[in-house]
Structure 1
Amino acid sequence: MAKEISREEPEKLSLGTLENWLFGAANILRGPVDQADYKTYIFPLLFFKRISDVYDEEYQKALEEADGKIEEAEFRENFHFYIPKGCQWKDVRATTEDVGQALTHAMHCIEKANEGTLAEIFGDAQWTNKELFSDKLLIDLVQHFSEHDLSNKNVEPDLAGQSYEYLIKKFADLSNKKAGEFYTPRPVIRLMTLILQPQDSETVYDPACGTGGMLLEAFNYVREHKGEFRRLGLYGQEKNLTTSSIARMNLILHGLEDFRISRADTLRHPSFFEGDALKTFDCVIANPPFSLKKWGEEVWENDPYGRNFAGMPPVSYGDYAWVQHMIFSMAKPGGRMAIVLPQGALFRKGAEGKIRSTLLESDLLEAVIGLAPNLFYGTTLAACICIFRINKDASHKDRVLFIDASGLFKKGKNQNELLPEHVDQIYSRYAANETRTGVSRVATLDDIRSQDYNLNISLYVEPVIEEDTTTVAEAFSDLRKAAAECETAENRLKQLLSESGAL
């Protein structure tokens, strides 16, 4: 009797298996590729393999539904993303010479076949540069990615997205200072999203979106709160081609479709419009480059959109160009925004001081949250989060909440970390909106005027001074004990030096 063939579904890949496997691909690149550039090559390959496996899965389903009629099964409407013949993963895998050329050809074909959704998504990786990539290295890399099936039956979209986020974090850790341009620690994003509380059917905009983490967290927030998350409109703009491509791949791998990511210089060439005016959004959230130089002052002197409404930022610091662009982009009822800034932007004088005074007198600033140092890649300095609202609640009118969260962090070897419990503590301080010594202060606009619009947190949140209750007798006792320990150590040192012949 013939042995019965098992029809059991293959066991789905676990997140841990996926993470270890994907990071293993980076080990193949060690040597010829700088760690900071791993993302340029690993992410496109992962995305190519994922959509290719899903395409094969969708093709088999379409073929069954078409009773084996190949022509009918190949209709484009059967596929989420269409992959032309000769451009599938299996075609690249079968290539043994000029593998880089085969990869480049396949990726360009896929982009062209899906222009509405995947144009330029694979970035500009130098696959054909044989000084970087020998055929053997690329064959090893393709073979490594071929070890697992990434179709939906094996890997759910959210799991694929989580493993993708894992790689983004891992590569940020490896490249360290070079990661600041594209990666914001996720706990910081979580805090900002908790404060903004995006709702379904609202729009969320990140003008410096990096790899899309802030847009993704807004989506996660709505989903966690049982909202109709697919009605959320997500908009992002990013100057760097590779980084903007990663953002698009990131959102797609999380199962998102209703989003727009534009590649352009936001301060010089904003991308989103309503008629001739800039588009406005319900939530605006960003971690723009700190104190950017050559940020576009030549455009802003006569900005056609009027974004310099509070004043012209200095040439050497672009922080308040980002602030004003974002305020301009949230100018609708209920509009709110959260931005990460270097703390220097809170107190620098000159043009920035004048801009601060205008924004404060307009009663747009709701809260300033000082974070711990060394949380962000690329800088050891302490940053802050500033919250702005078009229409502040009555309890916030003509007031600004200052929060000192500089002591909330986990010490790390190279980078400090904001833990989930720290996020909860900071958010509870924000929600309480109260003055607590050493923790927070609700300052009136008159208080801030008296400080010449200086927003330095230490001017408002007074540190807790612990009273020293040590008696004189206890102090003398401690002194005698310390002197005795010092004498013992000195005698031991003399003994060791004598034994070694040094004395």
Structure 2
Amino acid sequence: MVEQTTQDRINSILWQAADTFRGKIDSSTYKDYILTMLFIKYLSDSYKEKVEEYTKRYNGDEQRIQRALSRERFVLDESSTFDYLYSKRNDPEIGEIINKALERIENENTGKLRGVFRNIDFNSEAILGKAKERNAMLCSLLEDFNQLSLRPSQLGNEDIVGNAYQYMIGLFASDAGKKGGEFYTPAEVSEVLARLVKPQENDRIYDPTCGSGSLLLKVAKQVPSKKVAIYGQERNGATHSLALMNMYLHGIDDAKIEWGDTLANPLHLEDGKLMKFQVIVANPPFSLDKWAMGFAGEGTNDKKFKMEPGLDPHRRFEWGVPPSSKGDYAFVQHMLYSLAENGRMATILPHGVLFRGASEGKIRKQIIDMNLLDAVIGLPEGLFYGTGIPACIMVFRKDRTRKDVLFIDASGEGHYEKGKNQNKLREQDIQKIVETYEKREAIDKYSYVATLDEIKENDYNLNIPRYVDTFEEEEPVDMDAVKESIANIKKELQEVEAQMEKYLKELGL
């Protein structure tokens, strides 16, 4: 009987592997090494099992075995396998040996794995330290992973490795504090967005700031047949690699995840124009400073550069150029310009976008006048890594005929679970948000449907308390009862004092 590899076992070995680095380098950096090694081990073990299966099936006929292997999801040669790397764990050049193996894996699987490891360097002195310490860490990492079997026949269910990957990304995000929010959206918040946009079969789903890809995966999971096309773009190189691996580990080999600055260099184009998507979800960086620097020419002075609508070949900023220190509406406009005719879009934003004035106010007015805004949902504080500030979700639709906007205030007590470091949305909280959104109902102290005229009367200010009144009336004070209570306390005090007097006399004081 082959021992099954359980979720708990994988998770605990990954945690042990993290201990190798802890205290030596920052977790937001060493996560890349652990997650890459998990990916290699999974590819290796799956491949090894296939080799055994075909060797048995074709009685060792090398030609037929190789032909069958070439049709598999991935091909590996012997010197790219985990076992080979493990056998070299004490080699003084182990960092370089791992890098070469990664390069070979990429080259042999160019269609699927092109560029997946290009931002991860196992021989980096700058990150992993001088040769002696670096080699000791890498040897220890290989030894940790050697305890783990990721053969498909030993993984009771195929999601185990993908789940472990997500689990680790979540742990690293909470560990990395402020940096954690850069690559991970908490699972429950992703779930809310996924259910709000209701993806259908054959939809194109896009996340312009996709981080490690967890939000895209949540949305794809809403379609049971998984027949959707996935697109993402990510600015951070190592995070882009994690997103690609994350997709493969979840059985999605054809996701198109690009690496680059989505605002200055959007890479999902059709005939030179922005590609259009039925579903867009995002958790962009909050109020990104210097968001437009990618539009500045070489050698332009930061201070002097001023973004103009004409600098963008895709003309996304004609409704207004957001302030240089707050990129929120730059992302919103990019997404709206990328939305297909029947498209749905949900994005997480800081509350400031609902009421800030100047150019942001102009852009907001334009979006509301074009009837693109469908709902505004206030979330509880403390849901995100690295920031305590409460955020909101804005939902947009292209094909709206109704002339109203739904406001939901899901931030109050009772609409989430308080945690020590972080608050959490429970299933019932997620359901309440989604049901209220779908029914578009007004619920006392929770939601309100505002007409576009009401919003205009409010000068296009979308601050949620203007529309949803969560003020709790306090019980009126009964003055007679208060008087009586004071009288009773006075009487009691007199009795206690008299008693005290008696004791003091007895003691002769």
TM-score, normalised by the number of residues in structure 1: 0.89
Matched, 1:60 2:52: yes
Map of 2:370 onto structure 1 = 362
Task: Supply the distance in 1 between the matched residues of 2:329 and 2:62 (Cα, whole angstroms).
Answer: 58
Is this contact kept in 1: 2:408–2:448, CA < 8 A? yes
Write out per-residue CA displacement over residues 262-309 of structure 1, whole angstroms, 9 at most, x where no aligned residue. Answer: 111100111111212111011000000011111126736321112113
Q: Are residues 486 and 249 of structure 1, via their aligned partners in 2, closer, same or farther at CA, if it must alter by over 3 Å?
A: farther
Q: Are residues 485 and 168 of structure 1, via their aligned partners in 2, closer, same or farther at CA, if it must alter by over 3 Å?
A: farther
Matched, 1:420 2:427: yes
After TM superposition, give the deviation of residue 37 of structure 1 in Å.
2.0
After TM superposition, give the deviation of residue 482 of structure 1 in Å.
8.8
Matched, 1:152 2:145: no
Map of 1:272 onto structure 2 = 268
Task: Supply the distance in 2 between the matched residues of 1:486 and 1:327 (Cα, whole angstroms).
Answer: 71
One-letter amino acid of the structure 1 residue matched with residue 73 of structure 2: H
Q: 2:105 aligns with which of 107, 110, 115?
A: 110
Matches within 5 A, 1:182-221: 182-221=183-222
Map of 2:440 onto structure 1 = 433
Is this contact kept in 1: 2:309–2:316, CA < 8 A? no
- Secondary structure of the corresponding residue to residue 74 of structure 1: helix
After TM superposition, give the deviation of residue 483 of structure 1 in Å.
9.3
Task: Supply the distance in 2 between the matched residues of 1:420 and 1:440 (Cα, whole angstroms).
Answer: 19
Q: Are residues 39 and 443 of structure 1, via their aligned partners in 2, closer, same or farther at CA, if it must alter by over 3 Å?
A: same
After TM superposition, give the deviation of residue 446 of structure 1 in Å.
0.9
Map of 2:503 onto structure 1 = none
Task: Supply the distance in 2 between the matched residues of 1:485 and 1:52 (Cα, whole angstroms).
Answer: 81
Q: 1:281 aligns with which of 246, 271, 277?
A: 277
Q: Are residues 447 and 116 of structure 1, via their aligned partners in 2, closer, same or farther at CA, if it must alter by over 3 Å?
A: same
Matched, 1:388 2:396: yes
- Secondary structure of the corresponding residue to residue 60 of structure 2: coil
After TM superposition, give the deviation of residue 249 of structure 1 in Å.
0.8
Matches within 5 A, 1:339-488: 339-392=347-400, 394=401, 397-407=402-412, 408-476=415-483
One-letter amino acid of the structure 2 residue matched with residue 406 of structure 1: S
After TM superposition, give the deviation of residue 79 of structure 1 in Å.
2.8
Is this contact kept in 1: 2:309–2:318, CA < 8 A? no
TM-score, normalised by the number of residues in structure 2: 0.88
Matched, 1:304 2:313: yes
Gap runs ≥5 in structure 1:
1-7, 488-503
Write out per-residue CA displacement over residues 93-143 of structure 1, whole angstroms, 9 at most, x where no aligned residue. Answer: 111122212111111111121122112213533422362643232212101
Task: Supply the distance in 2 between the matched residues of 1:422 and 1:486 (Cα, whole angstroms).
Answer: 49
Task: Supply the distance in 2 between the matched residues of 1:481 and 1:126 (Cα, whole angstroms).
Answer: 77
Matched, 1:18 2:10: yes
- Secondary structure of the corresponding residue to residue 78 of structure 2: coil
Is this contact kept in 1: 2:119–2:241, CA < 8 A? no
Matched, 1:142 2:142: yes
Moved more, 171-180 or 408-417: 408-417
Matched, 1:77 2:70: yes
Is this contact kept in 1: 2:384–2:422, CA < 8 A? yes
Task: Supply the distance in 1 between the matched residues of 2:353 and 2:38 (Cα, whole angstroms).
Answer: 39
Map of 1:89 onto structure 2 = 82
Write out per-residue CA displacement over residues 223-255 of structure 1, whole angstroms, 9 at most, x where no aligned residue. Answer: 2xxxx21x2111111011111111111111111
Is this contact kept in 1: 2:381–2:391, CA < 8 A? yes
One-letter amino acid of the structure 1 residue matched with residue 246 of structure 2: N
Task: Supply the distance in 1 between the matched residues of 2:263 and 2:490 (Cα, whole angstroms).
Answer: 63
Q: Are residues 192 and 106 of structure 1, via their aligned partners in 2, closer, same or farther at CA, if it must alter by over 3 Å?
A: same
- Secondary structure of the corresponding residue to residue 149 of structure 2: coil
Write out per-residue CA displacement over residues 66-103 of structure 1, whole angstroms, 9 at most, x where no aligned residue. Answer: 32122432235243211123221111111112221211
Task: Supply the distance in 2 between the matched residues of 1:73 and 1:81 (Cα, whole angstroms).
Answer: 14
Q: Are residues 252 and 246 of structure 1, via their aligned partners in 2, closer, same or farther at CA, if it must alter by over 3 Å?
A: same
Aligned alpha-carbon RMSD (Å): 2.1
Is this contact kept in 2: 1:38–1:171, CA < 8 A? no
Is this contact kept in 1: 2:290–2:325, CA < 8 A? yes
Is this contact kept in 2: 1:437–1:464, CA < 8 A? no
Is this contact kept in 2: 1:40–1:123, CA < 8 A? no
After TM superposition, give the deviation of residue 379 of structure 1 in Å.
1.4
Task: Supply the distance in 2 between the matched residues of 1:44 and 1:212 (Cα, whole angstroms).
Answer: 15
Residue identity (%): 37
Map of 1:165 onto structure 2 = 166
One-letter amino acid of the structure 1 residue matched with residue 349 of structure 2: L
Matched, 1:248 2:241: no
One-letter amino acid of the structure 2 residue matched with residue 244 of structure 1: H
Q: Are residues 161 and 314 of structure 1, via their aligned partners in 2, closer, same or farther at CA, if it must alter by over 3 Å?
A: same
After TM superposition, give the deviation of residue 373 of structure 1 in Å.
1.2
- Secondary structure of the corresponding residue to residue 266 of structure 2: coil
Aligned residues: 470
Task: Supply the distance in 1 between the matched residues of 2:492 and 2:109 (Cα, whole angstroms).
Answer: 76
- Secondary structure of the corresponding residue to residue 165 of structure 2: helix
Q: 2:233 aligns with which of 231, 237, 246?
A: 237
Q: Are residues 70 and 479 of structure 1, via their aligned partners in 2, closer, same or farther at CA, if it must alter by over 3 Å?
A: farther
Is this contact kept in 2: 1:62–1:78, CA < 8 A? no
After TM superposition, give the deviation of residue 481 of structure 1 in Å.
8.4
One-letter amino acid of the structure 1 residue matched with residue 114 of structure 2: A
Q: Are residues 452 and 298 of structure 1, via their aligned partners in 2, closer, same or farther at CA, if it must alter by over 3 Å?
A: farther
Task: Supply the distance in 1 between the matched residues of 2:416 and 2:176 (Cα, whole angstroms).
Answer: 22
Is this contact kept in 2: 1:157–1:253, CA < 8 A? no
Task: Supply the distance in 2 between the matched residues of 1:404 and 1:113 (Cα, whole angstroms).
Answer: 52
Is this contact kept in 2: 1:309–1:324, CA < 8 A? no
- Secondary structure of the corresponding residue to residue 108 of structure 1: helix
Task: Supply the distance in 1 between the matched residues of 2:4 and 2:366 (Cα, whole angstroms).
Answer: 56
- Secondary structure of the corresponding residue to residue 63 of structure 1: helix
